[in-house]
Structure 1
Amino acid sequence: MKQFEVNFDGLVGPTHNYAGLSFGNVASLNNANAISSPKQAAKQGLAKAKALSDMGMAQGVLAPQERPDIAALRRLGFSGSDARVLESAAKQSREIFLACCSASSMWTANAATVSPSADTADGRVHFTPANLTNKFHRSLEPQVTGNILKGTFANDKYFAHHQHLPDNEHFGDEGAANHTRLCSQYGESGVELFVYGRHAFDPSKPAPTKFPARQTLEACQAVARLHGLDDDSVVYMQQNPDVIDQGVFHNDVIAVGNQNVLFFHEQAFYKKDAGLAEIQTKFGEKPLHFIEVPTDEVSVQDAIRTYLFNTQIITLPNGEMTIIAPTECQENEAVSRYLDKLVTLGTPIKSVNYFDVKQSMRNGGGPACLRLRVAMNDQELDAVNQATLINDTQFTRLNAWIEKHYRDELREDDLRDPQLLIESRTALDELTQILKIGSVYPFQQV
């Protein structure tokens, strides 16, 4: 039976904009209020997905959220026609209005935590949408995310879907951005690494003081229980509070794993040595590569600026690993020098491929933010909604869909335009038909 890791990239939504909503995300804050290019952003993301497909990787896409989120604005007391809701929200509460226009679901690493069938008690692939409670604009996503995942992975013989965790800071869950899986082969049982920022029920434990720790240990433990994971295959490590306070808001900004490789910065983890020892013990005697990047070669700030660790490490059909990196890594002297060295060190990583995803990078998300990884066997891949997988035909259809529906530029004032809402809903209604995922949006269910 063949085994795959399939990357499902989030399609960038029609309201892609820079509102600086993510406190603790340095890139997001630095680019607040810049003019955005939704069409360019969507095409950049889709081009990366197609490039991986052309490399021989199984590749899919996930639909974006409906934005502006009129239903959320109505829940918050804005009333009247849709146009009236937009107008009054923009005038009365700019911050709430901008949050309800966010296209942040493009960073699909936050969509959910996924455990493959080789790890779970019932032998199915398990999905738990992230509740994203730390940021209001992202906390609007889980219900529709669950709908989209169910439309994409619809066969309950192979796939199990859970409700997101309770909407409370004690169970703050940021999905796969704080979760990675280490294994020898995708189809074999592995070690699932959950990384948390704080203990919700014990404030005496170490925690950052400047920026929020978005993921709690308790959330990690709950997801592991829901997915039926064995204690011997789970490791919980705490993110270094100091690097969170430097702007490392998720673990995938400072560490990334693939199969038997964990690539991380020297300052990534609290009590690092104990955690790595536990991973090694639970992984067993098969080869495992810890690639630790020293601070004196790449500073934390250079890692954040370039998203060196928010790269994708993928295993190509020939068995070699390559890094999918943003062009910012190539343009930074220290990071470029390190990556040139890395491919000569005798690790499984043999090459680096650079991609332009600047529209995403300016809002604080690199290549790894744009994808949700799902390890599957060939039967499970056959059970996936095939219309969500990328091939030449579907790429052409989606590219034409973006060209037809997306604006070239968006400014903040454009977000209150009722015509943008109509354009977005028209686009999303057509997309659900292209991807055959059914009626997943509130406006389709009224």
Structure 2
Amino acid sequence: MKHFEANFDGLVGPTHNYAGLSFGNVASYSNAAQASNPKAAAKQGLAKAKALADLGMVQGVLAPQERPDLYSLRRMGFSGSDAEVLTQAAKQAPMLLNACCSASSMWTANAATVSPSADTRNGKVHFTPANLVDKLHRSIEPTTTGNILKATFSDEKHFQHHQHLPEHASFGDEGAANHTRLCSDYGHAGVELFVYGQQAMNPNAPKPKKFPARQTLEASQAVARLHQLDDESCVFMQQNPDVIDQGVFHNDVISVGNQNVLFYHEQAFVDTAAKFDEIRRKMNADVHFVKVATEQVSIQDAVKSYLFNTQIITLPNGEMAIIAPTDCEENPAVHAYLNELVTLGTPIKQVRYYDVKQSMQNGGGPACLRLRVAMNEQEVAAVNQHTLMNDALFTRLNTWVDKHYRDTLTVADLADPQLIIESRTALDELTQVLKLGSVYQFQK
């Protein structure tokens, strides 16, 4: 039976904007209050997804969430008609309005943690939506994320869905952005690497001083239990607190893995040598740890270019390729390093660059835009086929974007009642295109 690693990219929502909501995310903060282009953002994401499908990869899409989130604003005490709720929020608590208009669900690396059937005791693919409790604009996502995942992976014979973890700081969970899976082959049992920023229940353990550590060890351990992973299938590794304080808000900003390759910056982790030995022992196979030294690429350049927020994919011919943002090509140090990397004899043989600048300016690169799901061919066949990328879906989604999305959106535009109508109309049509059923609050 064939096995694949599918990528499910988040469709950029109609309210894509730059409100600077993510403290600790340098790009998000530095581009706050700029005008965004939702239409360009959505088309850039679709082009990247289609390019991977054209390379022979299994590629899907995940729907965006309803924004503005009137349901959450009403829970916060705003009342009246939809337009009145927006007007009150814009006047009394504009930051709450901004949070409830964020299109951050586009970054599906934070949607959930996924464990493939080869690793789990009951032989099913397990999904746990991330609770994202550290940021208000993301903490309102998990329930709808769960609904979208269930509509995409609905076959209970193959897929098992869990509720997100308790919404408490001790269980701060940011999903696959702090999780990667190493294996000799996608269909073989592997080692799931959970990277955490702090031990929430150990006040004496190291943690960053400036920016928050969003992933806790306690959350990672809980997800591993839910997914029925054995101890020999898991490694728990701490992210270096010092790099978190330099803007590395998730592990996927400082390392990325694929099959038997872990591509990482030398400052990425705590206790690196011992943990790598543990990975080697549990893998019981060759592992390529591809280290990028500080003298080759500084932390600043890595964060600015998102060198590690790239995707590493295995092409149908067995070669590995890095899917990088054009920002990597435009950064002299990073571009020079990547040119050298493909000559070093590692499994990574090529680099492909894609323009996702609208996402990059808000703090998310190619890896942020995708959720990886390793599956066998029976499991791929059990996925909602309307969500899998092909020529027809690509054309249909681009037409949908052209019809419903604005060319320009500012933070001030978030108070426009017409935006509610535009967003709901777009998502109502999308649920029909992707056959998602009733996954949104406004449909209840």
TM range (shorter): over 0.9
Whole-angstrom distance in 2 between the partners of 1:135 and 1:313: 28
Cα deviation for residue 437 of structure 1 reads 1.0
1:53 aligns with 2:53: yes
* 2:291 matched residue in structure 1: 292
* 2:170 matched residue in structure 1: 170
Q: Structure 1: give runs of 5+ residues left out of the alignment.
A: none
Q: Post-superposition, which runs of at least 4 consecutive aligned residues in structure 1 deviate over 4 A? A: none
- Contact persistence 2:196–2:239 (CA under 8 A): yes
Give the RMSD, CA atoms, in angstroms: 0.4
- Contact persistence 2:27–2:363 (CA under 8 A): yes
* 2:342 matched residue in structure 1: 343
* 1:276 matched residue in structure 2: 276
Whole-angstrom distance in 1 between the partners of 2:356 and 2:417: 29
Whole-angstrom distance in 1 between the partners of 2:71 and 2:233: 41
- Cα deviation per residue 1:253-279 (whole Å; 9 max; x = unaligned)? 000000000000000001111111111
Q: Which residues of 2 match residues 11-410 of structure 1 at below 5 A?
A: 11-284=11-284, 286-410=285-409
Whole-angstrom distance in 1 between the partners of 2:230 and 2:378: 24
| SS of structure 2 residue aligned to 1:101 | coil
Q: Which amino acid in structure 1 is aligned with residue 370 of structure 2?
A: R
Whole-angstrom distance in 1 between the partners of 2:404 and 2:97: 22
**Amino-acid identity (%):** 74
1:438 aligns with 2:431: no
Q: Which amino acid in structure 2 is aligned with residue 95 of structure 1?
A: M
- Contact persistence 2:280–2:286 (CA under 8 A): no
- Contact persistence 2:14–2:423 (CA under 8 A): yes
Whole-angstrom distance in 2 between the partners of 1:168 and 1:321: 39
Q: Which amino acid in structure 1 is aligned with residue 349 of structure 2?
A: K
Cα deviation for residue 412 of structure 1 reads 1.5
- Contact persistence 2:173–2:214 (CA under 8 A): yes
Whole-angstrom distance in 2 between the partners of 1:317 and 1:26: 36
Cα deviation for residue 414 of structure 1 reads 1.1
Cα deviation for residue 249 of structure 1 reads 0.1
- Cα deviation per residue 1:113-162 (whole Å; 9 max; x = unaligned)? 00000000100000000000000000000000000000000000000000
| SS of structure 2 residue aligned to 1:274 | helix
Cα deviation for residue 212 of structure 1 reads 0.2
Q: Which amino acid in structure 2 is aligned with residue 279 of structure 1?
A: I
Whole-angstrom distance in 2 between the partners of 1:298 and 1:18: 28
* TM-score using structure 2 length: 1.00
Whole-angstrom distance in 1 between the partners of 2:105 and 2:172: 17
Q: Structure 2: give runs of 5+ residues left out of the alignment.
A: none
Whole-angstrom distance in 1 between the partners of 2:96 and 2:254: 30
| SS of structure 1 residue aligned to 2:303 | helix
Whole-angstrom distance in 1 between the partners of 2:136 and 2:413: 21
Whole-angstrom distance in 1 between the partners of 2:276 and 2:294: 18
Q: Give the number of equivalent residue pairs.
A: 444
| SS of structure 2 residue aligned to 1:367 | coil
Q: Which amino acid in structure 2 is aligned with residue 337 of structure 1?
A: A
Whole-angstrom distance in 1 between the partners of 2:108 and 2:360: 14
- Cα deviation per residue 1:323-359 (whole Å; 9 max; x = unaligned)? 0000010011110010000000011000000000000
Whole-angstrom distance in 1 between the partners of 2:248 and 2:419: 33
Cα deviation for residue 288 of structure 1 reads 1.0
Q: Which amino acid in structure 2 is aligned with residue 329 of structure 1?
A: C
Whole-angstrom distance in 1 between the partners of 2:113 and 2:130: 7
Decide which moves more: 286-295 or 106-115. Answer: 286-295
